[in-house]
A = this chain, B = another copy of it.
C-alpha cells in the first residue's frame, strides 16, 4: 500500500513531521525539537487529523524532558507540556485520549529522567502503532461498502495524512484499490484550508486511485447525480448518542446524502468516541481565524475588513448516519 510517511523520530530523538501546510506544492519534513514547536505545529495544522494529533502530542511529550536534570523537574515539565498540548486544539478528543494514556504510564513509573523518557517514548510508539493497526482494521471493516465500480465521497482529509496509517475514511478506499477494484473517489475541496484539494486529492493520486475534485458547493448536486454509492467521512469526536463532530461541511454533506438516499458512514477508531460527552451539543467547536476565509495563502479573496464566522467543525446528528466503521467492525444504526 503506497501511502506517505507523516511523522517519526529524528536521529537525535526530536520529532519530524511532514509539514502538511506546504502540500501539494512541496513535500517537506520539519523538525520539532520542543513542546512549543509541537503545539505550534498542531495549532497551525502542520500536523492534523484527529488520530495524528494524538500521536504527535504523545511523541511531543518526550521533548518536555530535554533539559530536565531531576525527576522533580521532569514531573513539572511533563505536567506543563500536557496542559499546553491538550489545549492546542479543542474539538478532537484523541488529543486528550493520547495524553491520558501517557499520563497513566507515567503514574506507574517511579524512576529517574531516562526512565521517564523511555516510558513516554515507548507509549507514544505504541499509540502510533495502535492507530496504524486501527486504520487497517477500519479498512477491512469498510471494504464490503466499496464493491467494484463504487463511487465514494469523502470530505476534508481523513486519510494517511490524518493518521499515520491508511487513514480512517480512506482505509477502505486504499484496501479496495489494492484488491484491484475499480472505484472513483469524489473529493470536496474543503474550504477554508482545502484539505480535500491539497491533501486527499494528493494522497489518492499518489496511490494511483482515481479521484475527482469538486467545490464544496457541488456536494449536494453530485450526490443527486446517482453515481456516488456511498459517503465515508472521518470524525474528530463522537458523542455517546452517536452525534459526530467532523470538518465543517460534513453536516451539509450528511443532509444531502440523506436526501439522495446515499448511505453515510463515519470511520473512526475507538479513541474518537467520547463516552463523557452525551450529545453533539456538548462538543466544543473550535472557531478559527477570520483570515483563513478572507483569503488563501497570499491571495485575498474578500474585503479585508469583512466579519467572518469560521468554525472548524460542525455536528452531524446521529439520525443522518447509516453506520460507523470501527476497528472492531461495521456498526449499522438501527432506528
- Residues of A at under 8 Å CB distance from B? 24-25, 155, 186, 188-192, 194, 197-198, 201-202, 205, 210-222, 224, 247-249, 251-252, 255-256, 259, 293-294, 296-303, 305-311, 314-315
Contact = CB atoms under 8 A, between A and B. Distances in A.
A254 to B, nearest CB: 8
Contacts of A248: 215, 217-218, 221
A212 to B, nearest CB: 5
Residue with the highest number of chain B CB atoms closer than 10 Å, among A186, A211, A248 = A248
A303 B194 CA distance: 12
B214 A308 contact: yes
Contact of A299 (B188, B220, B251, B297): B297
26 contacts: A25-B300, A188-B217, A189-B301, A189-B302, A191-B217, A194-B302, A197-B294, A197-B301, A198-B302, A201-B302, A202-B302, A211-B307, A212-B306, A212-B307, A213-B294, A213-B306, A214-B310, A217-B247, A217-B252, A218-B248, A218-B310, A218-B311, A219-B252, A221-B248, A255-B255, A296-B296
B299 A298 contact: yes
A51 to B, nearest CB: 21
Please report whether the interface of chain A is mostly helix, strand, loop or mixed according to DSSP. Answer: mixed
A259 B255 contact: yes
Contacts of A302: 24, 189, 194, 197-198, 201-202, 213
Contact of A215 (B192, B202, B211): B192
A198 B191 CA distance: 15
The count of identical subunits is 2
A189 B298 contact: no
Nearest to A297: B299
Nearest to A300: B25
B251 A201 contact: no
Contacts of A216: 191, 215-217, 249
A210 to B, nearest CB: 7
Contacts of A252: 217, 219-221, 252, 255-256
A222 B252 CA distance: 10
Given A205-B303, A248-B215, A252-B256, A314 B220 contact: yes
Contacts of A197: 293-294, 301-302, 306
Contacts of A211: 306-307
Nearest to A156: B217
B218 A314 contact: yes
